[in-house]
Structure 1
Amino acid sequence: MKGGFSSVADVSAYLIDENPIPVSIITGFLGSGKTTLLARILKSSIFSDTAVIVNELGEMGLDHLLLEVADEQLALLPNGCLCCQLRNDLVDTMRTLLDRATRSEIPAFERLVIETTGIADPVPIIQTLMTDPLRFSRFQFAGLSTVIDGVLGAQTLENFSVSVKQTALADCLIVSKMDVAENYKSLQERIRNINSTAPIIFSSNGEMNPRLLPGFGDSKTTQFPVISGEVHKPAHGDGIFEVSRAMEGPMDFRVFEKWVNQLHERYRGNLLRLKGIIHFEGQEAPSVIQAVQHILYPLETVSFQSEGEIGRLVLIGQEISRHELVSSLEDLAQIAYH
């Protein structure tokens, strides 16, 4: 499988470097409040060591002006989406930032944030971060945060498929404009029908605790919430759905490796994302699992799970059989634990 595991059964061979720079993606549909949120975060001196890449539509960019960030901390990618023609430019910009910081031409930075356009599909962006050789050196994908308009969010999810995808793939969800939102409980139910596991944070005027976002807290990895037993959410808009299952104990890495390869060979691009936490046999700590379509990210060990917590896996599919994905999770558990 391209970008995935080889046949070697040593889990430690796939663990990433100890001190990478976390890369956080902030997405959300047009007008949802991404720039307002990011501007509030960057005003804090705590996050002054943050580099930002802003991607905008149109010939004249505005978001970088609204952010009021020093020029040396901001790399502007104008005139297009990161998920299409600017994918290579994203990598070039990341390399340039790193090289300039190494030469002390710009201040060193401890995290990188990518703000996408409102109509960006997150999948190709995450794939870029996972597949480029740069990820094996200094950068590490920390997670995807999606901003949802607290006033117009339900209407947006109903009318725009990319908004559904942004929500379904998120590791963290921020509902904005709570100071003017009225019927936010129905919106929350709609969001939960799309993504049942990512934490939901409510924000007014861009105010929130940024340490709750992937890549901004003490942990550089996405902290997946606990799943009790099996959770099989019904299918929602655009044929996107989510299934998940608890994994009871340590698992043979080779069993998992074979299962992942078979899963991607069968569903390919229709399996949008696989994520979770698995404790492999012979390892002292569990590992975070991250995969987008056919690309499986290197494992990273975690220490935030308390003793007694169980592992879990989440699958997000599109236009494939939900029943088959549910069965595949059951098959994995059956083989691994019996």
Structure 2
Amino acid sequence: MALDHRIPVTLLTGFLGSGKTTLLNKLLNHPGMKDTAVIINEIGATGLDHILVRNVESQHIADNTVLLESGCLCCTLSNELADTMRDLFFKRQLEAIPRFNRLVIETTGMADPGPILANLLSEPVVVSTYRLDAVVVTIDSIYGLQQIAEHGEARKQAAVADVLLLTKTDLATEEQLQALSTALEALNPGATQYRIRHGEIDPAAIVDAGLFDPEGKQAQPQRWLRAPSRSKAGRGMLPQAVHDDEISSFTVTMPKPLTWYQLEPALQWLCATFGENLLRMKGIVHAEDQPAPLAIHAVHHTLYAPNLLEGWDEDEPLTRVVLIGKGLDELKIRDALMQV
């Protein structure tokens, strides 16, 4: 049973020089990407040229859209992201372009993923036809540690990722890789890490990597939430205070029965109170006043409409909310949610 017929979207980002172009070149030539559309957010007039240097068999089917020999559909972001996504969907419906079943959006290296996620999750036509599957971030194995330490954008990118790709691993020492991996684990313990070289990776690691299993279309909340079930604070200890600029993540588990009517105002308050510092919130809610579990998502000040996971349930129905942000008051947030 298909739980959500909307087109899954992978957001691919990463700091300048972290290997996104090399990765995309390999992905676009991979037969596993044949029913995938890719939006390339490239600054400057070169458009797709730098990406398509090896795709000489590509076929131009629109001003900014190219069909590759692999079957992958490629287009340049020519205006607002929402406009480009709408345009692709309508062309797909009109059969002006081949029917794609997933979308990858590549962003510029300095992009803060927050506004992009907000755009993706709030525009009415977009949200009715697409759903966020996963955020994938490339991290340079040699310079990643330095970039995370020195650049807020690099830290945010790594913190909100579902999947972290450590690139250029053939150029780094095992000590460098281990240090980077450990730092990323501390920053984002919920992300899956892959070490790659020369942009080589199975597309299955980054597409259909989110809430839904691509085969049975069943929800996979453990894979999606990924974060540890309790704070890094020891058992029985209070959560530790974090500095204002420190990014942390934690999970709040609410085992008692609750209703969406009760929980939604608490989540709205949370977004309003901590929105500037709330990089991302996601969760699975088992509410007594809903016919099925809900998948919830928020970015900064905005709580988005929940997805009803029809036809699916868990053996042990626990409501879990994962929060990722800067200087979040974990104790205050836990207290507010546990009082629902």
TM range (shorter): 0.7 to 0.9
Quick check: 1:271–1:315 contact (8 Å CA) kept in 2? yes
Quick check: 2:191–2:227 contact (8 Å CA) kept in 1? no
Is the aligned partner of 1:178 residue 2:207?
no
| Deviations, residues 99-118 of structure 1 (Å, cap 9, x unaligned) | 22222221110011100011
Residue 64 of structure 1: aligned partner: 51
Quick check: 2:82–2:126 contact (8 Å CA) kept in 1? no
Quick check: 2:228–2:250 contact (8 Å CA) kept in 1? no
Q: Which runs of 5+ in 1 are unaligned?
A: 1-15, 79-85
Quick check: 2:260–2:290 contact (8 Å CA) kept in 1? no
| Deviations, residues 197-245 of structure 1 (Å, cap 9, x unaligned) | 1111221222223223253561597722263333468748943332322
How much has 1:19 moved relative to structure 2? Answer: 0.5
Residue 92 of structure 1: aligned partner: 83
Q: Quick one: structure 1 residues 123 and 226, their matched pair in 2 at CA, closer, same or farther if it must change by over 3 Å?
A: closer
Residue 28 of structure 2: aligned partner: 42
Partners of 1:51 and 1:255 lie apart in 2 by: 39
- Residue type of the partner of 1:242? S
Is the aligned partner of 1:26 residue 2:12?
yes
Identity %: 33
Q: Quick one: structure 1 residues 304 and 18, their matched pair in 2 at CA, closer, same or farther if it must change by over 3 Å?
A: closer
Q: Which secondary structure does the structure 2 equivalent of 1:267 belong to?
A: helix
Q: Which secondary structure does the structure 1 equivalent of 2:225 belong to?
A: coil
Quick check: 1:226–1:312 contact (8 Å CA) kept in 2? no
Residue 77 of structure 2: aligned partner: 77
TM-score by length of 1: 0.81
Partners of 1:297 and 1:184 lie apart in 2 by: 36
Quick check: 1:275–1:288 contact (8 Å CA) kept in 2? yes
Residue of 279, 283, 298 corresponding to 2:286: 279
Residue of 327, 332, 337 corresponding to 2:332: 327
Quick check: 2:35–2:100 contact (8 Å CA) kept in 1? yes
Quick check: 2:189–2:227 contact (8 Å CA) kept in 1? no
Is the aligned partner of 1:268 residue 2:254?
no
Partners of 2:322 and 2:296 lie apart in 1 by: 10
Partners of 1:209 and 1:172 lie apart in 2 by: 13
Residue 148 of structure 1: aligned partner: 139
Hey, which bits of structure 1, 4+ residues long, moved more than 6 A? none
Residue 13 of structure 1: aligned partner: none
Residue 228 of structure 2: aligned partner: 227
Q: Which secondary structure does the structure 1 equivalent of 2:252 belong to?
A: strand
Quick check: 1:145–1:214 contact (8 Å CA) kept in 2? no
How much has 1:304 moved relative to structure 2? Answer: 7.7
| Deviations, residues 31-77 of structure 1 (Å, cap 9, x unaligned) | 11112223322322232111110011234345432473651422112
Quick check: 2:280–2:300 contact (8 Å CA) kept in 1? yes
Partners of 2:82 and 2:325 lie apart in 1 by: 27
Q: Which secondary structure does the structure 2 equivalent of 1:92 belong to?
A: helix
| Deviations, residues 314-335 of structure 1 (Å, cap 9, x unaligned) | 22223x4x3x3332123312x2
Residue 195 of structure 1: aligned partner: 188
Residue of 317, 321, 325 corresponding to 1:317: 325
Residue 260 of structure 2: aligned partner: 253
How much has 1:157 moved relative to structure 2? Answer: 1.0
Quick check: 2:85–2:126 contact (8 Å CA) kept in 1? no
Quick check: 2:225–2:322 contact (8 Å CA) kept in 1? no
The number of aligned residues is: 308
Partners of 1:234 and 1:193 lie apart in 2 by: 15
Q: Which runs of 5+ in 2 are unaligned?
A: 60-65, 68-72, 233-238
Question: Which runs of structure 2 are paired with 1:231-246 in the superposition (5 Å)?
Answer: 231=232, 235=242, 238-246=245-253
Task: Identify the range of structure 1 (115-124 vs 260-269) with the bigger mean alpha-carbon deviation.
Answer: 260-269
Residue 293 of structure 1: aligned partner: 300
Q: Quick one: structure 1 residues 304 and 26, their matched pair in 2 at CA, closer, same or farther if it must change by over 3 Å?
A: farther
Cα RMSD (Å): 2.8
